[in-house]
């Protein structure tokens, strides 16, 4: 099953929003890429980033965003190359480090993914995206109880309290650990958001998607 049920990268992109963080051409490019990204037009987003980076190769934010877009395109090699260029330019950017963890998870290198996530936690121990990323690694390793612990930390540290990716990951962890009450309570909170993969989550819970499909899709 190729459909991604747990879309960690949608949380990662939040880093790139906020025009106050950027100035001039970079700001304009980021704003345009955000439009393409949220419309699901990843090739257009990639094209806009590559054009900007051709003339501004020292932008760690744009290299990191290119890594994210390549993840969406299932281009793990391109994502890894872009993230590593971003990391050379700014080795303290936790989002870039999380992105490299996502790449390693996609490649099946869960131990290495965990190393990147733990490195990101050293930079920011209060980042909920890192905890939910670690939760997915534990789901892949079938350590569902630990996945729930990490997912609950992510939910607690989420200032908004309604991040759909965190909630979705937690719903799936509860489901796989047969904690129906907690699953249904979290699902109710998830239904109040605009999470785009809601139908897939409901199909999992109803049995239309089996557990193995979920584990293989992460």
- What's the pLDDT score for residue 27? 79
- CATH (domain of 156): 1.25.40
Residues in the chain: 218
User: Is there a single domain that holds both residue 101 and residue 26?
Assistant: yes
Domain endpoint, select from 79, 109, 139: 109
Is the CA virtual torsion 200, 154, 173, 42 positive or negative? positive
User: Three-class SS of residue 143?
Assistant: coil
Domain endpoint, select from 76, 109, 142: 109
Domain endpoint, select from 62, 82, 109: 109
Is the CA virtual torsion 121, 101, 165, 82 positive or negative? positive
Asked whether residue 161 is domain-assigned, the answer is: yes
The whole-model pTM stands at 0.81
Closest by CA position to 173, among listed 114, 214, 213: 214
Give the structural domain span for 64.
1-109
User: Is there a single domain that holds both residue 133 and residue 211?
Assistant: yes
Residues in the chain predicted with pLDDT less than 50, given as ranges, are 1-3, 6-22
């Amino acid at each position: 099953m190729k459909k991604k049920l747990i879309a960690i990268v949608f949380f990662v992109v939040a880093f790139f929003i906020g025009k106050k963080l950027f100035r001039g051409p970079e700001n304009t490019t980021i704003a345009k890429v955000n439009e393409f990204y949220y419309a699901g037009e990843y090739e257009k987003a990639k094209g806009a980033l590559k054009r900007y980076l051709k003339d501004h190769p020292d932008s760690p934010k744009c290299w990191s965003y290119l890594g994210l877009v390549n993840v969406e395109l299932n281009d793990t090699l391109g994502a890894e190359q872009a993230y590593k260029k971003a990391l050379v330019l700014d080795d303290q950017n936790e989002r870039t480090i999380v992105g490299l963890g996502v790449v390693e998870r996609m490649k099946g290198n869960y131990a290495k993914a965990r190393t990147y996530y733990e490195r990101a936690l050293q930079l920011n121990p209060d980042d909920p995206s890192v905890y939910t990323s670690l939760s997915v690694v534990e789901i892949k390793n079938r350590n569902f109880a630990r996945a729930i612990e990490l997912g609950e930390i992510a939910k607690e540290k989420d200032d908004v309290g309604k991040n759909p990716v965190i909630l979705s990951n937690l719903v799936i962890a509860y489901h796989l650990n047969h904690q129906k009450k907690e699953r249904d309570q979290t699902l109710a909170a998830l239904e109040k958001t605009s999470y785009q993969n809601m139908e897939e989550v409901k199909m999992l819970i109803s049995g239309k998607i089996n557990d193995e499909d979920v584990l293989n899709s992460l």
